[in-house]
């Protein structure tokens, strides 16, 4: 028994078999920023065997209030490559794979198909909509999240259940909604949502009892409220619809 995972293996929901399952699992994290940082750190620490990191950005000083994968020395460096080094230092047993790409419709499907689960941790609505579409097409589970200021939301898609587009069918055009740079975000808010995404990813990989399907979580930090809202699959959904 690997001492590193003692606190996980002791849990009946995980055990030695679950730990071996995590080691066999491949997760793609799209966006190595405010949400991607806690997601990647927790999944690497938990022993998820293969972690893909899709990000084509470089570390800037304004990232450091929330993107806890990086430090001052990393400013100007590739996020994907820096994240790989950080995750290897945390857990050398994890295979961390950099994908220095901006995921698009023409390169994204082949990428998604290499993984068992995708965590969408980007900062823009177009990428969120695209990752949902690609995961539905590939039949790959998705855990998505969004954060700004003192609030955030997250949910998961499994084949046969409501997808993100069932809930948010319309993606506003770029430039018509405020960017994270304009809205602002507290680093710890990204930590709240990112940690929830990591928990949900582990649950789905281990096929635990109650994955967060047909529901979304809304978190508000100033008044401290969590709300779990039930959502329904939309037969007319532009992505997963059956009509
Ligand atoms: Zn749908």
| Distance from the alpha carbon of residue 162 to the mean position of ligand 1, in angstroms | 5
Q: State the pTM of this model.
A: 0.97
Residue 2 predicted with pLDDT over 90: no
Per-residue pLDDT band for 235 (boundaries 50, 70, 90) equals very high
What is the span of the domain harbouring residue 72? Answer: 3-230
Q: What is the pLDDT of residues 74-112, one digit of tens each?
A: 999 999 999 999 999 999 999 999 999 888 888 999 999
| Distance from the alpha carbon of residue 112 to the mean position of ligand 1, in angstroms | 18
Q: What is the pLDDT of residues 11-70, one digit of tens each?
A: 999 999 999 999 999 999 999 999 999 999 999 999 999 999 999 999 999 999 999 999
Measured distance CA(138)–CA(132) in Å, rounded: 10
Per the domain annotation, does 116 fall within a domain? Answer: yes
Q: What is the pLDDT of residues 163-190, one digit of tens each?
A: 999 999 988 888 888 888 899 999 999 9
Measured distance CA(18)–CA(208) in Å, rounded: 10
Per the domain annotation, does 213 fall within a domain? Answer: yes
| Distance from the alpha carbon of residue 119 to the mean position of ligand 1, in angstroms | 17
Per-residue pLDDT band for 243 (boundaries 50, 70, 90) equals low
| Distance from the alpha carbon of residue 48 to the mean position of ligand 1, in angstroms | 28
Per the domain annotation, does 236 fall within a domain? Answer: no
Break the chain down into helix, strand, coil percent, rounded to 5. Answer: 40, 20, 40
| Distance from the alpha carbon of residue 235 to the mean position of ligand 1, in angstroms | 8
| Distance from the alpha carbon of residue 173 to the mean position of ligand 1, in angstroms | 19
| Distance from the alpha carbon of residue 191 to the mean position of ligand 1, in angstroms | 27
- Provide the CATH number for the domain around residue 174: 3.40.50.720
Instruction: Give the total number of structural domains in the chain.
Output: 1
Measured distance CA(21)–CA(25) in Å, rounded: 6
Q: Contact at 8 Å (CB) between 209 and 133?
A: no
Per the domain annotation, does 100 fall within a domain? Answer: yes
Per the domain annotation, does 237 fall within a domain? Answer: no
């Amino acid at each position: 028994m690997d001492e590193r995972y003692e606190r996980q293996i002791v849990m009946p929901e995980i055990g030695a078999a679950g730990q071996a399952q995590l080691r066999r699992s491949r997760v793609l994290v799209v966006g190595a920023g405010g949400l991607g940082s806690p997601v990647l750190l927790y999944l690497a620490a938990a022993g998820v065997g293969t972690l893909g990191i899709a990000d084509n950005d470089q570390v800037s000083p304004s990232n450091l209030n929330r993107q806890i994968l990086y430090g001052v020395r990393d400013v100007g460096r590739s996020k994907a490559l820096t994240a790989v080094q950080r995750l290897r230092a945390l857990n050398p047993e994890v295979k961390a794979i950099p994908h220095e790409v901006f995921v698009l419709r023409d390169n994204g499907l082949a990428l998604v198909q290499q993984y068992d689960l995708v965590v969408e941790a980007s900062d823009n609505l177009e990428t969120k909509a695209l990752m949902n579409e690609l995961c539905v097409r590939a039949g790959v589970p998705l855990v998505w999240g969004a954060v700004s200021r003192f609030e955030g939301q997250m949910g998961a898609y499994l084949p046969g259940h409501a997808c993100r587009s069932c809930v948010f069918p319309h993606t506003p055009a770029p430039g018509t909604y405020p960017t994270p740079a304009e809205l602002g975000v507290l680093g710890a808010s990204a930590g709240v949502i990112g940690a929830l995404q990591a928990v949900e990813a582990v649950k789905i990989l281990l096929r635990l009892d109650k994955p967060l399907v047909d529901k979304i979580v809304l978190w508000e930090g100033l008044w401290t409220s969590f709300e779990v809202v039930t959502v329904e699959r939309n037969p007319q959904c532009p992505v997963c619809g059956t009509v």
